Amino acid sequence: MSSNTPATAEVRPFPNAKVAPATEAPDVHVQPVVAPPPEADAPAKKKRSVRSFLLPIIGLALLSGGAWYGYDYWTTGRFMISTDDAYVQADMAFVSPKISGYVDQVLVSENQQVKAGDPLLTIDAGDYKIAVGQAEAQIATLAKTLDRIDAQTKAAQASLQQAQAQKVADQAAADNAGRAQQRAAQLVKTHVGTQAQLDDAQTALDQAKAALVGADAQIAAAQANIGVLEAQRAESASTLASLQLGRDKAARDLSFTVLKAPYDGVVGNRSVEQGDLVSPGQKLAVVVPMDKLYVVANFKETQLARLVPGEKVNISVDAIDGHPIQGTVSSLAPASGAVFSLLPPENATGNFTKVVQRVPVRIDVPADALKTGKLRAGLSVVVAVDSRTAPAATSN
């Protein structure tokens, strides 16, 4: 071998080494990336710009709203006691007859404004007029009877006076006859007078005494007659008083044939027509005093701690547009609404579940709000009591 030939090293594998088989490299296909045109990226950029513009505004609005709510709660809201369980109410008068009869006239229509004393309807008064006339006739008859008894009493009193005068005369005659008898007896004893004269004097004395007894009897009879007449007059006077009461009752029943409005208001729920037969206590109509409406709000028992009469109340009525009406807490009920219910709860037996009770609170409505005529009994309202206006708080 020539020395100019470069030597090559022979690579020998280790005895135990394994030679990996030769593999071919996989074919790689490269997809060319096409750049989007400038117009396709414009909507995305626009959305990002709108979002970046609106998000701060929304955040600022939420922050401002929260701040305003917190400020309003701290300055006003925490002092307000509100509920939507409140209604407009009125002390309505149910028009009912006190007597029975057929309706003669109906003088009002549904929803008509009436004044106190206005006639609403009339009941046939024929029978009641007859009753009044009959009572007056009986009174007149008994009055004549009393006049007759008075005349008889006067005559009996005159007879009594006559009998008393006769007794005086008879007493004088008896006294004279007695003295004559004594003189005649004395003359007989002295043998001056005769026995016949004594007998005549004794007879005259006996007759005078008998006349005196008769006079006493006449006086007693006259007094008894006067007593009877006085008793008859007392009885007739009592009967007359009873007849007068009957006449007054008949006249009162006659006045009940005209049903009148008890106060100013509006007629509603009229359920009577001409010719109907009505009976005492039957509800024929309702008169609602529109100038005496008030609100009853049912507050939870957990809200009563700061509720006192005299506090100002904001009353929101759906039927009235504009600002809330400002009322005043008038009074709190002495018990919860459940106590006054038809079937009050009884928790002494069985399982017990605590339920928050509600207490009715009366709220007065100012006269200016009632003059508008928009409030109606039964309307739902939302009330908010301002506890800062309590009388004790305002005085301090």
Secondary structure of 169-230 as H, E, C letters: HHHHHHHHHHHHHHHHHHHHHCCCCCHHHHHHHHHHHHHHHHHHHHHHHHHHHHHHHHHHHH
Check whether 90 has a pLDDT greater than 70: yes
pLDDT for the residue 14: 42
**Which of 268, 286, 304 is where one domain is finished?**
286
pTM > 0.85 = no
If asked whether residues 247 and 275 sit together in one domain, one would say no
Amino acid present at 265: G
* In-domain check, residue 12: no
If asked whether residues 332 and 282 sit together in one domain, one would say no
The residue-averaged pLDDT of 337-360 equals: 81
* Two structure tokens written together for 220: 């007693």
pLDDT for the residue 72: 58
DSSP summary character for residue 37: P
The residue-averaged pLDDT of 47-76 equals: 71
If asked whether residues 139 and 232 sit together in one domain, one would say yes
Check whether 106 has a pLDDT greater than 80: yes
If asked whether residues 132 and 111 sit together in one domain, one would say no
If asked whether residues 332 and 240 sit together in one domain, one would say no
The residue-averaged pLDDT of 95-99 equals: 96
* Two structure tokens written together for 231: 């008793």
* Two structure tokens written together for 142: 């008994």
Look at 92 and 179; give whichever has higher pLDDT: 92
359: domain CATH number? 2.40.30.170
* In-domain check, residue 30: no
* In-domain check, residue 44: no
**Which of 234, 268, 286 is where one domain is finished?**
286
Look at 236 and 3; give whichever has higher pLDDT: 236
Amino acid present at 189: K
Query: 294 Cβ partners below 8 Å, 6+ apart?
Result: 88, 89, 90, 330, 362, 363, 364, 365
If asked whether residues 132 and 243 sit together in one domain, one would say yes
* In-domain check, residue 68: no
Check whether 46 has a pLDDT greater than 80: no
278: domain CATH number? 2.40.50.100
* In-domain check, residue 4: no
If asked whether residues 282 and 193 sit together in one domain, one would say no
Residue 262, beta-bridge partner list: none
Look at 323 and 156; give whichever has higher pLDDT: 156
Give how many domains the chain has, as a whole number.
3
* In-domain check, residue 115: yes
How far is residue 336's CA from residue 91's CA, in Å, rounded to a whole number? 20
Range of the domain at 176: 126-255
- Range with lowest mean pLDDT among 117-121, 126-130, 223-227, 322-326: 322-326
If asked whether residues 264 and 214 sit together in one domain, one would say no
Look at 70 and 265; give whichever has higher pLDDT: 265
If asked whether residues 250 and 132 sit together in one domain, one would say yes
Check whether 23 has a pLDDT greater than 60: no
- Indicate the average pLDDT of the chain: 83
If asked whether residues 134 and 245 sit together in one domain, one would say yes
pLDDT for the residue 20: 44
If asked whether residues 266 and 322 sit together in one domain, one would say no
Label residue 132 left, alpha or beta by phi (over 0 means left) and psi (-120 to 50 means alpha): alpha
The model's confidence at residue 8, banded by pLDDT at 50, 70 and 90, is very low
**Between the CA of residue 169 and those of 158, 162, 174, 216, 222, what are the distances in Å?**
17, 11, 9, 12, 17
If asked whether residues 131 and 241 sit together in one domain, one would say yes
* 334 CA to centre of own chain: 17
* In-domain check, residue 239: yes
220: domain CATH number? 1.10.287
* In-domain check, residue 33: no
For the stretch 243-256, what's the b/e string if a residue is b when 16 or more beta carbons lie within 10 angstroms of its beta carbon?
beebbeebbebbeb
How far is residue 392's CA from residue 390's CA, in Å, rounded to a whole number? 5
Strand segments (E) across the chain:
80-89, 93-95, 101-106, 113-114, 119-123, 258-260, 265-268, 277-278, 285-288, 294-300, 312-317, 325-332, 358-364, 380-386
